[in-house]
Amino acid sequence: MRHRGVRAGLRRRDPWRIIIATTAAGGRNLHQGETTMTIEFRALSPSFATEVDGIDLSQPMTASDVKTLWNAIDRYAVLVFHDQRLSDIQLRDFAAAFGPLEIGRGALQGGKRRLALPQIGDISNLDEENRIRARDDRRRLDSLGNRLWHTDASYMPVPVVLGMLHAVAVPPASVLGGGETQFADMRAAYDALPETMKAEIDGLVVEHDIFWSRGQIGFTEFPPGEREKYPPSPQRLVRRHPGSQRKTLYLSAHASHVVGWPVAEGRLLLWDLTAHATQSQFIHSHRWQVGDLVIWDNRCTMHRGRPHDESQARDLRRATTLDTASTLEQAA
Ligand code: OGA
Ligand code: MN
């Protein structure tokens, strides 16, 4: 096992870019051949997101590894690993250490699928034969909804916790962009709100609806029966993040309106809050390399995909862990 050392160019340029290495007693001290591995963290921005080194995600983890990573998720919300080459089975097994896994809308739609495992979401521009999808392909247009700021599956009554994307193929840089994924820190965005606004929104409940989010980009071609399968779900607008006990905004492109308010008024409030929460100081942009794996906490971040050259393959695989209760049952 090759030691994954500090990557060149990411040394301590900024005071917050501290390396926190777990000690042998507190974290991983796994002997793989001759090498002792230590999990290291290197913050990517002052408020959230960290790179993680010194762990091979294809290998089974100890309980202490999982705890070390959960602590980092609770602190940083976004974890970036490099140089991992996981099969779908390895990705599923790694993700399952963090909770029961979602079977997403894509896998439930039926029909021929490119990927064998239902727990692995196909976040690619490829069809069942690994060909680039046509510009007007229905599944491609549906997945363009990921270009809007969102948190995953907030339209489900019990939404999801962790998202994990693993890069198998990455498009080259282009004039349109390189297909980056951006993350926004909803705890920092909440903290930065005026106290009067915090008081105004504290108890609000928002209706989240996949048909609203897709409708915003003009996508309405859902397969028959899907509308009935995914009715809107109410979610708290302000949540308390369990692992950090910090308050967080729970926003998403799926968020349609405020329950009990005129639709227009709630929608305008959600737009204002989203504009606030996606300012550059709250964003980390991830430029993909093959072998990257990124974990994010959907409870306290939003994310979106960025455009790329659509003639080039972009193949990311996603695993997602489920929550246990509605946000309405979780006091803010
Ligand atoms: C997702 C998602 C964005 C991207 O997989 O949940 O929103 O960059 N992906 O592909
Ligand atoms: Mn998403």
Beta bridge partners of 36: 31
Residues 6+ apart with CB under 8 A from 272: none
Inside any domain, residue 244? yes
Give the residue whose CA is nearest to atom 4 of ligand 1: 305
Inside any domain, residue 219? yes
To which residue do tokens 């097994």 refer?
93
| pLDDT at residue 2 in the model | 39
> What is the mean pLDDT for each group of 10 consecutive residues in the chain (332 residues)?
41 57 45 64 95 96 96 98 98 98 87 94 96 95 96 97 98 96 98 98 97 94 88 98 97 98 98 98 98 98 97 98 95 78
Inside any domain, residue 195? yes
Based on the structure, what is the number of domains in the chain?
A: 1
| pLDDT at residue 17 in the model | 62
Q: Ligand 2 centre and the CA of 42: distance in Å? A: 24
Give the residue whose CA is nearest to atom 10 of ligand 1: 305
Segment (H or E) for 42: strand 40-43
Residue ranges lining ligand 1, Cβ < 6 Å: 123, 146, 152, 163, 165, 181, 303, 305, 316, 318
| pLDDT at residue 23 in the model | 43
Q: Ligand 1 centre and the CA of 28: distance in Å? A: 30
Inside any domain, residue 21? no
Which of the listed residues 119, 161, 162, 165 should we mutate to test ligand 1's pocket, taking the one with most ligand atoms within 8 A of CB?
A: 165
In this structure, what token pair is assigned to residue 260?
A: 């009990």
Residues 6+ apart with CB under 8 A from 29: 36, 37, 38
Please count the residues of the chain: 332
| pLDDT at residue 226 in the model | 87
Question: Where are the alpha helices (H) located in 152-301, listed in sequence order?
Answer: 186-191, 195-201, 210-216, 226-229, 263-277
Segment (H or E) for 69: helix 63-76
Range of the domain at 179: 77-329
In this structure, what token pair is assigned to residue 109?
A: 């739609």
Q: DSSP labels for 202-213?
A: TT-EEEE-HHHH
Q: DSSP labels for 100-116?
A: PBP--HHHHT-S--SSS
Inside any domain, residue 145? yes
**What number of other Cβ atoms are within 10 A of residue 199's Cβ?**
10
CATH code of the domain containing 106: 3.60.130.10
Inside any domain, residue 25? no
Q: State phi, psi for 292 to the nearest 5 degrees.
A: -70, 145
Inside any domain, residue 58? no
Q: Ligand 2 centre and the CA of 117: distance in Å? A: 19
Distance CA 245, CA 95 (A): 23
Inside any domain, residue 321? yes
